[in-house]
Each structure stands twice: as structure tokens, then as C-alpha cells.
Structure 1
């Protein structure tokens, strides 16, 4: 594959690292012959993607015109949440989230995970309400949510596998502060398309600030999706905010998952039981409304791919007009195929 250098580019020898030896700069306009794949390495200016030539030299992909897509392993589509919701058929029609940006506000991401090869990842950290470049996931929750959106199809495939990821790290393994999460929301760029939040906000003293942060996003035509919460939590205050798509969980049998928090109200159900996704050291199956929310966010990303002007109200209308019902007939279940059709 040939790519063109777009900015002065440092050649790194033997490793996709800013600390690797270098022997020259390449000027804009230089043509490179590189492998037809990207490699995860050091993050520079928000991107961790690198290219490599046959000699073992690495080039930071952010200064080139690279365009790489992975080949999806067909076995990935056997996962029930994809199979039963016809995601392969949607992908086969070209809807994979290309050109759409999804922001995941969570514990960060293991950006070097092989499941995110080809994924454009950028982000910031907001711990202690201090903005940093630290998006490393020391918990695992954010990495698991990210895989449902954008895993590349080697072992699991994300529903919006060609979307760009912005990862905002709002809490960590050691502690959690709602003020940090809200601060992250307050700093989401307004050119973002979809925001996915699998965190339960419960501090009513911060509700006005949370509501204002969400209103800013919705006012910018950004679709905001939030997990409603599980039975071991209070109902997510996000579920009470106008314009938010709040998500409960359904299992493989089409049954309303009883671990969904029974208090408060939510918009729609999505697969949340036994969801295979990326985890910090490998892959895993996860259960909870935390993993139903990025499913909905991914479907909204596909919807945005069809028309970037679609906003929160239209997304909600598509969901309300395209759904099936849980077996007890009481809850709406997302119908991605109907929405994209």
C-alpha cells in the first residue's frame, strides 16, 4: 500500500514508539510503501496508529494519507447480539460507522489492544477535573464498552467498527467522582456525533450541572446515550434528562433482563447479557446495562452515517418507530435493521 506524507514525519526504527531510534525526517509529498495494516503504538497528537514498511521502519500514521480497513472474521457475527439483530446484513450494505465520531466517557481504553487495530482513537483524561492526555484504562470497563462499538473484527466486531473513537477518561479503578465525569461531558467537542455513557449518576446535588452539560450536547445535535443502571445501583439521573436515550437490557431469549434497574424509566432495551467484547488482556463476555448502551450508541452512529443532520429527536423517533417487544410485551427492543432500512 502506498501513502503520502502530509507533514514532516520522523522515521522510527524497529518500534512504533516516540522513543525508538530515528534516522531522518520525511518531507511532505514523500511517497511511502507500507504494509496494508496499522499498528498500535505511542499516542501522538491524539492518535496511536502507526504504519510499517518491510524494513521494519515505523511511521506515525497521523502524518500520512493512510486509509486501512481490516477484514472481518465471519465467525464474529455468530455472537448472539449481532446475529439476532442482523448486523452482518447491515455491514454488508456498507453501514459500519465510517466518518462518524463516537465519544465514550468511561474509564479509558487499552488503545494497544489488537482488537483496535485500524481504529482511530483519540481522547483525554479528566481525573480530579484536570485535563490530561492519560486515557489508559486501569479498570477495564471502558475497553469493554469500546469494543462493542469499534472492535475490528479479528475476534469480535463492533457494530460501528469503522467509526472514530474519542475516549474521555472520567473515572478510574481506585476512585470515582461524578464531578470528574460531568467535567468530561462539559468538554466534549461539539463536532462529536454520538456520546455513550455507561456510568450511573446519582448525586442530586450535581443534577443541575449534569443537566446543563447534557443540554449543551443535545443543543449541538449530538445524540446522547446512557445506561439506565443495574439493580445494585440507583436509577441513572441521566435517564431523567430530556433528550437522552436511556437503555435497559434484554437477554438472548428476548426477555427483559431483570438486572436492569427497576426504578425510573428508560427508552429502549438492547442486548446486555453475555456480550463478547474486548477486555484489557484479551476478550470476555460481559453482562449489564453498561454493555447495552454502547450497542444503542453504535446503531445511532450507523444512523448518523446515513445522514449527519440526524439529531437526538430524530434518533428517538427512529427507535420508537422501529422496535420489537420483549416476550412479556411490555418493553421496546431496538431493531437496528428496521432503523437503517
Structure 2
């Protein structure tokens, strides 16, 4: 019932979403009229000047962004409709080949400085469970302290490496369901389970761009698709309930899943349940505790480190210079292919601005 929500005037207007992804093709018809600002990271490739790499480098980020601010058109006619087409997007190409884990912290820090309300990251740096970057934890803590909601994709299959943000406290970990609200499965048909799943959202055969080698509308699947859906819904809720805190909005997100009211519950297949736009917008978040509900024992940062400690400084520059922390594992696009990590990223140096109007248009696990 997203169209009815848009028709009622709730489009994410006034909300800023930072999208952390790979390449982007902002000139496609689907993104014309969208308010997109590309934030360039030092020593990270410009995400919109990689046309020579074609659809493979651009389809993931373009599809994810289209699920937030897409205008419903494509090169083939109909296209992805964004969940929050009135929102502003800050785009960070941190999942490109020459970027590494420190670019995530740099992007988070800049997103906070630029006034982002929500972060959507459909992938991340593949790491082992015990190799979480301290810089990432510090930047997440600072973002949460600033009231930013962070939404990230879980892996699409069992793996020895995990996305950088998966076990970081306070973020929304998203898995995928199909059109019948059935959870995604492993390639062998077995259940997809994860101890860190918070919610699930549509992510199987979702409208995308570039997956068939054209900028017409095509289907794609995976948690990479379900993550921007959740980010878009939070943008709608933030516009509808401007007086609610980010913690109250997250409380509402996990309590108003499914089609009927229910007690708070959780499972390792669907987390707290399937997100529901109608119920999320109908229920006043002020009735819920002003406390982020997504903290687990044994994970960093702790609740007190985020909400009780004084504001911390930016990640240690010396740490960024000496390259401490994991740096040998590849990027993963939430279950997609991997590319080699080459150069650390620490500074924001260039700003690209919004694109104009115009008209253009996935089956793959992303």
C-alpha cells in the first residue's frame, strides 16, 4: 500500500538517507528528479565515472538507490518505485574495488556531519567474526549518538566472512522474504537462519535496473534489495512522526511487523517479523520506550558506550595512517561477488550535486 501512502503526502520529504554502495548511474530515467548528492571519498573511485565497467559495476548501487527514490520509470517504460521518493540521498561509493574497511567509517562520519537521518548499506567489507574494525565501531557509536538509524544487509548464504556492520550493536540487520512473505532459503533449499537478524523485508524478485544488461526494469534478489526497502520505510515514518526519536522509530519498526498486532517476538529466520508500512505509520512511536532495542550482550559498542559516554572524537587519524585492523579480506556485496581491497580511504574531498529530470530503466543474488 505504498502508493496510497504517497498519495496521502508521505514521501520521505525532509529526510536524508545516506546510501553506502558501489557504482551509481544517476542519469538513468528512474533517478531523474531525485535529490542525489554524491560524496566523493579520498582515494576511492568516483562512483559515477565508471561507465567503462558497464552494468556490472553500476547495477547494484543504482538498483538500491532506485528502491529509495526511484520515479517508477525506466528505459523499458515502467521502473522501480522508490519507497521514499521525496527524501534526499547522500551517496557514498564505499563498496568499490579500491576502497577498504576504513572508508565505511569515513562515510559514516561524513554522513553524520551532512545531517543524515538514516544510513542504508546493502553490503560491506567481508571480515571474520573477531576482526571488527575499532574505527567502524567508533563511527557507528557516534552516528547512533547523533540519532542516525543504520540499516544493513545480512549475508544471503552461510559464509566464513560476514559484512562489516552485522555484529555491530544498534544497527538494523535485514534479511529477505519473497512475495508470499516466506524467508529466503539457501541454494540447497535449507532455511536461512542468522542470530543477528532484526527484521525481514521484500527482497526476492524485486524491481531493479541493469540485471538484464539494460537500464530497463529487471528483477534482482537478496538482502541488498530488502535493505533499502527498510531504510525507505523508516524515512516515511520519520516524516509522519517528526517528534519521535530514532530509538522510538526503531522500537516501532520491530513491534509493528506482520499484519496483526502482536507481542514483541523474535526468531532466527525472520527476526522480529516482516516490516509493515501501514502499521508503522499508523502507530504513534511516542508510546514506545526511548531506547534503542537492537543491542545484544557481547557485541560492540555497548549501550553505555553510545548513550552514556561523552561524545567521542573522530576515529584516530594515526590508526588510519598505520593501517591497523583487517585489510586482507575482500569487499562483498551482501552475498554477491568479491573484489580485491587495495587502498585505505580517510578523507572527504569532492562533492557532486543532484541530477536533473529525464527518462530510463534485476535476477541475481546481491
3-state SS of paired residue (2:249): helix
State how far apart, in whole Å, the 1-side matches of 2:15 and 2:124 are: 25
Deviation at 1:338, TM superposition (A): 0.2
Q: Which has the larger radius of gyration?
A: 1
The equivalent of 2:105 in structure 1 is 182
State how far apart, in whole Å, the 2-side matches of 1:265 and 1:150 are: 28
1:18-58 CA distances to partner (integer Å, 9 max, x unpaired)? xxxxxxxxxxxxxxxxxxxxxxxxxxxxxxxxxxxxxxxxx
3-state SS of paired residue (1:248): strand
3-state SS of paired residue (1:291): helix
1:207-265 CA distances to partner (integer Å, 9 max, x unpaired)? 32111111111111111100112105434342322210110111112111124863431
1:149-178 CA distances to partner (integer Å, 9 max, x unpaired)? 110122221111111111111122x45522
3-state SS of paired residue (1:115): helix
The equivalent of 1:215 in structure 2 is 141
The equivalent of 1:193 in structure 2 is 117
State how far apart, in whole Å, the 1-side matches of 2:95 and 2:49 are: 11
Q: Note if 1:117 corresponds to 2:32.
A: yes
1:85-123 CA distances to partner (integer Å, 9 max, x unpaired)? x21221121111112111100113211111111101102
3-state SS of paired residue (1:310): coil
Q: Note if 1:336 corresponds to 2:277.
A: yes
The equivalent of 2:254 in structure 1 is 320
Q: Is the 8 A contact 1:222 1:311 kept in 2?
A: no
Deviation at 1:182, TM superposition (A): 3.0
Change in Cα spacing, 1:221 to 1:135, as seen in structure 2 (3 Å) is farther
TM-score, normalised to structure 1, is 0.67
CA RMSD of aligned residues (A): 2.5
Matches within 5 A, 1:1-341: 86-126=1-41, 129-130=42-43, 134-136=47-49, 138=53, 139=57, 140-154=59-73, 155=78, 156-172=80-96, 174=97, 177-190=100-113, 191-203=115-127, 204-231=130-157, 233=159, 234-259=161-186, 262-279=193-210, 281-324=215-258, 330=267, 331=270, 332-341=273-282
Q: Is the 8 A contact 2:21 2:95 kept in 1?
A: yes
Q: Is the 8 A contact 1:223 1:311 kept in 2?
A: no
Higher strand share: 1
TM-score, normalised to structure 2, is 0.63
3-state SS of paired residue (1:181): helix
Q: Which runs of 5+ in 2 are unaligned?
A: 260-265, 283-366
- The total of aligned residue pairs comes to 251
State how far apart, in whole Å, the 2-side matches of 1:176 and 1:265 are: 26
1:167-195 CA distances to partner (integer Å, 9 max, x unpaired)? 111122x4552233332223223311111
Q: Is the 8 A contact 1:125 1:170 kept in 2?
A: no
Q: Is the 8 A contact 2:132 2:164 kept in 1?
A: no
Q: Is the 8 A contact 2:100 2:125 kept in 1?
A: no
Change in Cα spacing, 1:161 to 1:278, as seen in structure 2 (3 Å) is farther
Deviation at 1:267, TM superposition (A): 0.5
Change in Cα spacing, 1:225 to 1:131, as seen in structure 2 (3 Å) is same
Q: Is the 8 A contact 1:224 1:244 kept in 2?
A: yes
Q: Which runs of 5+ in 1 are unaligned?
A: 1-85
State how far apart, in whole Å, the 2-side matches of 1:285 and 1:142 are: 14
